[in-house]
Amino acid sequence: MNKSLVIIFITIMLDAIGIGLIFPILPALLRDVTHAENVVPYIGAMVALYAVMQLVFAPVLGAISDRIGRRPVLLVSLGGAAINYILMVLAPSLWLLFLGRAIAGQTSANVSVAMAYITDISAEDQRARRFGLVSAMFGIGFVIGPVIGGVLGDHWLRLPFIVASVLNGCNLALALFMLPESRKPGGEKVALSTLNPLRPLMWAFRMKSALPILLLFFLFSATGEAYAICWALWGSDTFHWSGLMIGLSLGTFGAFQALAQLFLPGPAAMLLGERGAILAGVACACTALTTMALATHGWLVFAILPLFALGGIGTPALQSLATRQVDDAFQGQFQGVLASVVSFASIVAPLVFSSVYSAVQAQWPGAIWLAVTAIYALTVPLVVRL
């Protein structure tokens, strides 16, 4: 594995640690700032705001990376994330928290640019495995981040944001001084039309072969938002978990996720085919979610986490399928479009899931996971027709 890949993987892992630090303590921070007991709507609104900014700016930044290179766009993205965390440390009021999330959303091209970077330097038969390693780095980040965030947040709510800001500063320095450019800039000027966020989206939607891929990315991303919105609240409401226990549950999931993504995506795709690997992942996720919905003891959640982690084994296969929809000259733009699709899911899903959770919170908090299972079921006919 070459140096560039190692640095990209470290960059993704540090980014995931920074994000994971925040999950266990965000509800408590919002209660502290708003003095409201029910903070579900605020969490949904914050996630949706980030997604709106990403929806507008991700395809633009992806298209720009096709023209000027991946590295400058990645540096801007990492800088925006650091500013977001600094604002969350200092914010005495809700509007500053929202401002930080807006800035982070505007510059949030790190994952899509990293995917384009890996596509630039990888042969087609290497991509599924390397995308699996990307997911593994996220998993490792979510082993470390939530546990540290839960521990630090129990001491002082703002402390995890300080650590997240420092991590993003380290990430920025690593990319600035050690990461080479993967794509030689074409030399053409960035046209004003490139800055139109609708242009890349219209370009992608004209490709009929890409539409099922885009819809699958939307649905899978929508399911992922449920965990960010509801996991900490559900753990507290159902099992009376502390910040440490919430962090441990997320960290344990991250450990199994990392192991699954390190070793299984390549063999799963070879044994089952890319489509079969995606369907196997859906089946595992639905089984785990149904068990979580019915769980009455916290230990059962930890017991089901290995099966839950297997739910992600098809994601690298889907990402590999996606890279074959366009040629190399437009990988950054297409990855930006995929990021916009993910962002659109991140606008809709938090608002939906926060509303559903508010409706079921008093009677049966676990019912939220059955709603996620229903969305997973929608992906099956699309995968079958790929």
225-250 confidence digits (pLDDT tens): 888 788 888 988 999 888 778 878 87
The sign one gets for the Cα dihedral 149, 153, 154, 159 is positive
pLDDT (average), residues 315-333 = 74
Confidence class of residue 186 from pLDDT cuts 50, 70 and 90? low
Q: Which tokens hold the place of 343?
A: 């962002």
Confidence class of residue 102 from pLDDT cuts 50, 70 and 90? confident
DSSP state, residue 75: H
pLDDT at 185: 64
Cβ atoms of residues 59 and 338 within 8 Å: no
Sorted by sequence, the CB contacts under 8 Å of residue 192 that are 6+ apart come out as none
Q: Break the chain down into helix, strand, coil percent, rounded to 5.
A: 85, 0, 15
Long-range contacts (CB closer than 8 Å, 24 or more residues apart) made by 223-226: 223/285, 223/349, 223/372, 223/375, 223/376, 225/47, 225/345, 225/346, 225/349, 225/350, 225/353, 226/349, 226/353, 226/368, 226/369, 226/371, 226/372
Whether the predicted pLDDT of 286 surpasses 90: yes
Confidence class of residue 374 from pLDDT cuts 50, 70 and 90? very high
Whether the predicted pLDDT of 194 surpasses 60: no
pLDDT digits (tens, 9 = 90+) for 124-167: 777 767 877 877 787 777 777 777 887 888 788 888 888 888 88
Angle between helices 94-106 and 40-68 (to 10 degrees): 30
Whether the predicted pLDDT of 192 surpasses 60: no
Question: Distance between CA 332 and CA 315 in Å, rounded?
Answer: 19
pLDDT digits (tens, 9 = 90+) for 329-368: 676 667 777 777 877 787 788 778 888 998 888 889 999 9
Angle between helices 3-22 and 70-90 (to 10 degrees): 20
pTM over 0.95: no
Whether the predicted pLDDT of 280 surpasses 60: yes
Q: Of 30-34, 266-270, 291-295, which has the strongest mean pLDDT?
A: 291-295
pLDDT digits (tens, 9 = 90+) for 136-145: 787 777 777 7
Identify which of 262, 226, 244, 261 has the alpha carbon closest to the alpha carbon of residue 375. 226
pLDDT at 17: 79
